[in-house]
Amino acid sequence: MSTEAQKQTRSFSIPRPESLKKLGPNWDLGLLMTVVALLGFGTLMLYSASAVMAAQKLGDSMYLVKTQLIRSGLGLILMFVALKIDYRWWRRLIYPMIAVSVILLILVLIPGIGVVQNGSRRWFSMAGLSFQPAEIVKIVTVIYLAYSVSKKGEAMKKFSIGFVPHLMMSGLMVALLMRQPDFGSSVLILTVTLIMLFCSGAKIIYMALMVPIAGAAGFVAITGSAYRLKRVMAFLDPWKYQTDEGYQIVESLIAIGSGKITGVGLGNGKGKFGYVPELWNDFIGTIIAEELGLIGIVALVGLILILLWRGFSISWNATDKFGVFLAFGLTTILGIQAAANLCVVTGLLPNKGITLPFVSFGGSSVIMSLFAIGILLNISRNQPDHWEENRDKRSDEKEKRKWEKKRAGIVKRRRDLTSRKWS
pLDDT digits 0-9 by tens, 330-349: 999 999 999 999 998 988 88
pLDDT range class, residue 14, cuts 50, 70, 90: very low
DSSP 163: I
Q: Find out whether 363 and 71 touch, Cβ atoms under 8 Å.
A: yes
Domain count, the chain: 1
What proportion of the chain, given as a percentage, has pLDDT over 90?
38
Q: In what order do the strands lie in the sheet with 120-126?
A: 114-117, 120-126, 129-131
62 within some domain = yes
What proportion of the chain, given as a percentage, has pLDDT over 70?
85
- From residue 211, give the alpha-carbon distance in Å to each of 166, 204, 208, 214, 219: 16, 11, 5, 5, 12
- Give the separation between CA 27 and CA 20, rounded to whole angstroms: 14
- Give the separation between CA 77 and CA 101, rounded to whole angstroms: 21
273 within some domain = yes
> What are 383-396's pLDDT values in tens digits?
777 666 666 566 66
- Give the separation between CA 345 and CA 249, rounded to whole angstroms: 7
401 within some domain = no
Q: What is the pLDDT of residue 304?
A: 96
- Give the separation between CA 333 and CA 373, rounded to whole angstroms: 12
Q: Find out whether 201 and 156 touch, Cβ atoms under 8 Å.
A: yes
Q: What is the pLDDT of residue 17?
A: 38
Q: What is the pLDDT of residue 392?
A: 58
DSSP 111: B
Q: Which segment, 205-219, 227-241, 295-309, is predicted with the most confidence on average?
A: 295-309
Q: What is the pLDDT of residue 6?
A: 47
404 within some domain = no
Q: What is the pLDDT of residue 327?
A: 95
> What are 116-174's pLDDT values in tens digits?
777 778 878 776 667 889 999 999 999 999 999 998 888 888 888 888 888 899 989 99
Give the structural domain span for 127: 25-382
Q: What is the pLDDT of residue 252?
A: 86
231 within some domain = yes
Angle, helix 29-57 to helix 63-84, in steps of 10 degrees:
160
Beta-carbon count within 10 A of 27 CB: 19
102 pLDDT more than 60: yes
The mean pLDDT of 21-26, rounded to a whole number, is 51
188 within some domain = yes
- Give the separation between CA 69 and CA 363, rounded to whole angstroms: 9
Q: Which segment, 1-10, 54-63, 226-235, is predicted with the most confidence on average?
A: 54-63
Size (the chain), residues: 423
335 within some domain = yes
> What are 259-271's pLDDT values in tens digits?
889 989 888 888 8
- Give the separation between CA 197 and CA 261, rounded to whole angstroms: 41
- Give the separation between CA 138 and CA 354, rounded to whole angstroms: 13
- Give the separation between CA 118 and CA 251, rounded to whole angstroms: 20
Q: What is the pLDDT of residue 15?
A: 38
Q: Pick from 365, 361, 362, 338: which is nearest to 46 by CA?
A: 361
Phi and psi at residue 114, to the nearest 5°: -80, 145
Q: Which helix (H) or strand (E) holds 219?
A: helix 204-223
> What are 42-65's pLDDT values in tens digits?
999 999 988 888 888 888 889 999
The pTM of this model reads 0.83
- For 337, residues 6+ apart whose C-beta sits below 8 A from its C-beta are 188, 354, 355, 356, 357
73 pLDDT more than 90: yes
156 within some domain = yes
Q: Find out whether 294 and 259 touch, Cβ atoms under 8 Å.
A: yes
